[in-house]
Amino acid sequence: MSPKTLLSRLPVDPYVAAIIGMVGLATALPAHGGGAVVARYATNAAIALLFFLHGARLSPQAALAGAWHWRLHVVVLASTFVLFPVLGLGARALFWGLLTPPLWTGVILLCTLPSTVQSSIAFTSIARGNVPAAICAATASNLLGMGLTPLLVGLLLSAQGGFSARGAGDIVLQLLVPFAAGQLARPWIGNWALRHKTLLGLVDRGSILLVVYAAFSEGVTQGIWRQLSLADLGRLVAVDVALLAAVLVITTYGSRLLGFSRDDEVTIVFCGSKKSLASGLPMATVLLAGQSIGLIVLPLMLFHQIQLMVCAALAKRYANDGRSVDAPASRGEIAPAEP
């Protein structure tokens, strides 16, 4: 039996199994000290390569079409900064006794954070969605989140915060600069990038696996698993799963009711349902200084892992649904105009 046949018969999707494997690896052998620095640089390099290759594949016309798709961007931002906080506040009001106050603080913090960038775009690409719109939507979420998240945290949790120019600069350097470099290199390597789709797929999946390992390693080295009981952990996982499930259902059927295409639906689902661990950890440290940061960020850390595993399976399902094969926006061509 060939390895490919063996993998196809596994009860768990191989990609989901790989993510679970990275969680196990980080738990058994977390990166710390110099290893954590190497893991961080490797993750940043993979993300930069991902955006460079997307820039090389996407025509400028397709990128502009994604940027001007304002209806999609409004829906993604509403999901990230309105729907999530409403659901989080509602859950806390209805089930206050389910979690401890620090954990509920962490859930509300989670709901105010911007979307992820690299995994949102990677999953959109895997699912053959509207990649240009995903790049613009996820990047806009992070840039706006530098100001909106502190504002929401101050409003909902009575904390103080402000705009982080350094955070905005990091987003520009890590994401937009490689993408712009890919756009500039497109006349020379664009056709090569379009022919080697397998390479982009490997970078998509590999960058997510690196993010999982680096993020989970950080949590393990902080020792947060020793600060709560198994019952507390189980209830927290249930809250995170319910929150993600509610957002996935609302974004999926909401995008259909609003008349979005299948490819735009993919973008809305993946960009509107995620929360950024990379932004959340430093923001929590600044906005909630003096509180139990280890417990407060635990809901986010668990949500981050859950969203990656759930969305990996969902992206594979979208890719195999037969409704979009090499959609124009995914190939870097001009997508058809919205009705």
For 55-84, letters b (16+ CB in 10 Å) and e give bbbbbeebbebbbebeebbebbbebbbebb
For the whole model, what pTM was predicted? Answer: 0.70
Label residue 172 by pLDDT band (50, 70, 90): low
pLDDT tens, residue by residue, 257-306? 999 999 999 999 999 999 987 677 667 766 776 666 667 878 888 898 89
pLDDT tens, residue by residue, 5-29? 544 554 556 766 787 788 788 888 8
pLDDT, averaged across the chain: 79
C-alpha count within 13 angstroms, C-beta hemisphere, residue 303: 33
For residues 185-208, average pLDDT: 79
> 228 and 294 in contact (C-beta within 8 Å)?
no
Rounded-to-integer distance, Cα 119 and Cα 155, Å: 28
CB atoms under 10 Å from CB of 259, counted, come to 10
Tokens 């949790």 correspond to what residue? 157
pLDDT tens, residue by residue, 73-117? 999 999 999 999 999 999 999 999 999 888 999 999 999 999 987
The predicted structure's pLDDT at residue 333: 37
Rounded (10°) CA dihedral 107, 110, 111, 116: -150
Phi-psi region of 165 (alpha: psi -120 to 50; beta: other; left: phi over 0): alpha
Rounded (10°) CA dihedral 196, 200, 201, 206: 140
DSSP states of 268-284 as a string?
Answer: HHHHHS---HHHHHHHH
pLDDT tens, residue by residue, 221-255? 767 667 778 888 899 999 999 999 999 999 999 99
Domains and CATH numbers, the chain: 14-318 (1.20.1530.20)
